[in-house]
Amino acid sequence: MTYQEKIAGLGELSLVTVNPDRDAALLHGWVTLPRNSFWGMGSHTLEEVREIYAFVDSLPTHHAYLILIDDEPVGLFQTYQPEADPVGERYPVQPGDVGMHLLLSPDRRLARSLTNAVGPAVARFLFRDPAAQRIVVEPDVRNHLALRRLEIEGFTLDSEIDMPDKRAQLAFLTRARFAARHQTTA
């Protein structure tokens, strides 16, 4: 268990490091759903998904976690050091920047409450590290739902950038802005 947080009205949120062999089938099921097309793995085979997460698991700069609610898998959360990622070649990385990707794939029972709770929870997880000063994200510019969610969460939209596989919207959430919006000591 990497992180746990009780979320009122939802349950116990846990982040557990992805085990590529154990979790490949679950992840493959999520990343190949049409609604998750912006994840960019829709045509990947089960073995390709396992290999990708084995590679991520081998990197000291990138981490993948299953998001569980009361031990039920509901999403995938990835973190990375921008200077060790293609995004870091496309904007001036600052000390304290930490990148993240988030894929939620809950059942309908959890969908609305989960979306509202997970963003702040993963930000609290990232800001536990005193060195983390700013969260960096780069969703596809066509992913209007993600862009709207970022604005709701307090991210500041920056420039559009060309990534190897997409045109992306760079966005940032500073520690100070998060703390002010969530009345925390983050």
Residue 87's pLDDT is 97
Q: Which residue has the tokens 């073995």?
A: 47
- Provide mean pLDDT across the span 69-89: 96
- Provide mean pLDDT across the span 96-102: 97
Residue 130's pLDDT is 96
Nearest to 78 by CA among 143, 136, 141: 136
- Provide mean pLDDT across the span 1-17: 91
Quick: pLDDT tens for 38-49: 999 999 999 999
Residue 10: pLDDT over 70: yes
Q: Which has more confidence, 59 or 10?
A: 59
The percentage of the chain sitting over the pLDDT mark of 90, rounded to a whole number, equals 85
pLDDT, the chain, mean: 93
> Which class does domain 3-182 fall in?
alpha beta
CA 181 to chain centre: 19
Q: Which has more confidence, 2 or 174?
A: 174
Residue 9's pLDDT is 84
Confidence band, pLDDT 50/70/90 cuts, at residue 107: low
What is the longest distance spanned by two Cα atoms in the chain? 43
pTM of the model: 0.93
Residue 186: pLDDT over 50: no
Confidence band, pLDDT 50/70/90 cuts, at residue 105: confident
Residue 82's pLDDT is 98
Residue 185's pLDDT is 44
Residue 108: pLDDT over 70: no
Q: Please give the structure tokens belonging to residue 161.
A: 């950038």
